[in-house]
Amino acid sequence: MSTTTYEEPAPTPLALLLLGRGSDPASERGVDCPGDLPAASDPDLVARARAAKAALGDRVFVLGHHYQRDEVIEFADVTGDSFKLARDAADRPEAEFIVFCGVHFMAESADILTTPGQQVILPDLAAGCSMADMATAEQVAECWDALTDAGVADTVVPVAYMNSSADIKAFTGSHGGTICTSSNAKRALEWAFEQGSKVLFLPDQHLGRNTAVRELGIGLDECVVYNPHKPGGGLTVEQLRAAKMILWRGHCSVHGRFSLDSVDEVRERVPGVTVLVHPECKHEVVEAADMVGSTEYIIKALEAAEPGSKWAIGTELNLVRRLAKAHPDKEVVFLDRTVCFCSTMNRIDLPHLVWALESLVEGRVPNVITVDPQTAKHARAALDQMLALP
């Protein structure tokens, strides 16, 4: 008998960008989708996607990030987090076309890790990431100048979250740092503190703070936040010299929405619930939760959970909905009362996927994501360092 009482959260007016045509000038890559996009109401979309995929056969490999819509995940050859997907693509050198259903920085990483003969396609170029947008190459170069002026740059090791642009990964590689994911952030920080006495963690302040404080025992007072919109990051030379963790002032707009109130409210609404959140959530939310872990950790925790157990999950809504569906013997609720989709992830919908696949069938290769060789070389060094983490 099903015990699921999953309730769809209420929509918020700004939760979704308008899909299809149109542009978002504030987005990292805010551009239109060129060409004729099929109408979302076209009843043949599923059949068209199937036919195009069948016509392309092994020449195409479709990757679906965990936060993608169901209608897109249905056509994914593999699903996973961004790093797993990039590696999956690299393991399929026979696939000429990698259609990445995710966001821009993920497609860049796939381009860096795949062979020169493979082309990575992002079905909607406007699918950027607001967190990745929060750290540009110019801003990070200015930050490094501030660290140099404070006389501490020699002791700082940069650690960049996977959710960053190729430019930021390249900066990290060329300054002796490493990339990390939400699964290996602890190991990455331990390694970094063996190389130097300070870490510049970017772009997600929450993952950096949560990992440093909760897993490495670093004090909150040893963490400072560098604000790229203020001269010198808004920090004094003394603060930079005293800090162990220099956290970039960036965050995920999806995970950043969860609050202490959401945790209190769900505990009242669902007695006996276990609150499980992603480490991109704010520190106070992570502290108030029962468990914290990456997307893969969340998926595995639900798989291992006892039938009848109750879970409130603090991560992207498409994934939580799928988890609720996949575990009808458990009660899985969303941590917030309102919709919390990633609006840029949601830009990839079935019309964009059909458009990309049909373009390939017709011999046009749309929306190719390429990283220039110099940037790719340094970014690859940082990614390789992550792979070499003990």
Residues near ligand SF4, by CB under 6 A: 67, 103, 129-131, 163, 252-254, 316, 342, 344-345
Q: How far is the CB of 137 from ligand SF4 (least distance, A)?
A: 18
Q: Where are the alpha helices (DSSP H) in the chain?
A: 45-56, 70-73, 82-90, 104-113, 130-133, 137-149, 166-174, 185-195, 205-210, 216, 237-242, 260-269, 283-288, 295-304, 317-326, 350-361, 373-387
Burial 361-379 (b: 16+ CB within 10 A, else e): beeeebbebebeeebbebb
Count how many Cα atoms sit within 13 Å of the Cα of residue 369 in the half-sphere of its side chain: 30
Q: How far is the CB of 52 from ligand SF4 (least distance, A)?
A: 26
Q: How far is the CB of 161 from ligand SF4 (least distance, A)?
A: 9
Query: How many DSSP H helices and E strands does the chain contain?
Result: 17, 13
What are the tokens at 7? 């309730």
Picking from 124, 125, 341, the residue whose alpha carbon sits closest to that of residue 252 is: 341
118 versus 343: smaller Cβ distance to ligand SF4: 343
118 versus 294: smaller Cβ distance to ligand SF4: 294
45 versus 340: smaller Cβ distance to ligand SF4: 340
Q: How far is the CB of 131 from ligand SF4 (least distance, A)?
A: 4
Q: How far is the CB of 203 from ligand SF4 (least distance, A)?
A: 9
56 versus 188: smaller Cβ distance to ligand SF4: 188
Rounded (10°) angle between helices 137-149 and 166-174:
30
List, in order, residues 6 or more apart from 72 with CB less than 8 Å away: 64, 101, 348, 349, 350, 353
198 versus 278: smaller Cβ distance to ligand SF4: 278
Q: How far is the CB of 275 from ligand SF4 (least distance, A)?
A: 19
172 versus 344: smaller Cβ distance to ligand SF4: 344
Q: Helix, strand, or coil here: 327?
A: coil
How far is residue 11's CA from residue 21's CA, in Å, rounded to a whole number? 22
240 versus 247: smaller Cβ distance to ligand SF4: 247
How far is residue 368's CA from residue 99's CA, in Å, rounded to a whole number? 9
